[in-house]
Amino acid sequence: MKVAVLISGTGTNLQALIDHTIDPKVGSCAEIALVISNIPGVKGLERAEKAGIPTKVIRHKEFKSRVEFDMKVHETLASAGIEFICLAGFMRILSGEFVRKWHGRLINVHPSLLPSFKGMNAHKLVLEAGVRVTGCSVHFVVEEVDAGAIIVQEAVPVCPGDTIETLQERVKGAEHKAYPRALELIASNALKLGDDGRIMWLNSD
């Protein structure tokens, strides 16, 4: 399954997906065939280049509208024969039109236990709420932000004295296990997004 990873920054989740898909012990049928960033010069692009994965920068600032940016991204994905998209620290909201075109073939990792703490500053909200357990969620992407069906979650303790930085680092450690696991469930046809918008587990035989 030809997978594209969309990034905007450091790309540690991209790295985890790369390491997973090239691991001969895993024998994954997911292959990362393209990495697209909306920001030039980010570390995630270096990670892809080091792994010999084609990269493309599509600057959202160069487009008059969100939809035109999304269309360029879609065309780039289609011409590369991409079958599945992983968002990994991609910080642009995608238009409903794009999300509909990739319905069931587009997932994201969010740094909280959804449906709690949606949006951009999950770790800050977690600390302010004083919860003792947080975590990460890998979910299908739907038009409503951070609201799609959840595929995998992993819990992470909140420790006394945690800051946004210490929390983010601990949660990322969980993301790097959860994301490859979620991609493998999909690539191995263990589950898919049902027409009712909920996870459908496919029989193993």
Ligand X SMILES: N[C@@H]1O[C@H](COP(=O)(O)O)[C@@H](O)[C@H]1O
Ligand Y SMILES: Nc1nc2ccc(CNc3ccc(C(=O)NCCCC(=O)O)cc3)cc2c(=O)[nH]1
* 3-state secondary structure (DSSP) of residue 120: coil
- Do residues 34 and 12 lie in contact, with contact meaning Cβ atoms separated by under 8 Å? no
94 binding ligand Y? (CB under 6 A) = yes
Q: Identify which of residues 93 and 200 has a Cβ nearer to ligand Y in the complex.
A: 93
143 binding ligand Y? (CB under 6 A) = yes
Q: How far apart are CA 170 and CA 124, in angstroms?
A: 14
List C-alpha distances in Å: 26 to 16, 19, 36, 135, 183: 13, 10, 25, 25, 12
Q: Which range touches ligand Y (CB under 6 A), out of 21-29, 39-47, 92-100, 121-129?
A: 92-100
119 binding ligand Y? (CB under 6 A) = yes
Nearest approach, Cβ of residue 5 and ligand Y (Å): 13
93 binding ligand Y? (CB under 6 A) = yes
In 31-70 the beta strands, taken as DSSP E runs, fall at 31-37, 55-57
Q: How far apart are CA 179 and CA 158, in angstroms?
A: 20
Considering only residues 48 to 77 of the shown chain, the ones binding ligand X according to CB under 6 A are none
9 binding ligand X? (CB under 6 A) = yes
Residues 6+ apart with CB under 8 A from 183: 3, 17, 20, 21, 28, 30, 86, 107
111 binding ligand X? (CB under 6 A) = yes
Considering only residues 52 to 91 of the shown chain, the ones binding ligand Y according to CB under 6 A are 87, 90-91
Nearest approach, Cβ of residue 4 and ligand Y (Å): 14
Q: Which range touches ligand X (CB under 6 A), out of 4-12, 53-61, 145-153, 191-199?
A: 4-12
- Do residues 42 and 10 lie in contact, with contact meaning Cβ atoms separated by under 8 Å? yes
Q: How far apart are CA 50 and CA 44, in angstroms?
A: 10
What is the set of active-site residues?
110
**Chain contacts with ligand Y (rule: CB under 6 A):** 87, 90-94, 99, 108, 119-120, 141, 143, 145-146
Chain contacts with ligand X (rule: CB under 6 A): 9-14, 44, 88-89, 109-111, 136, 172, 175
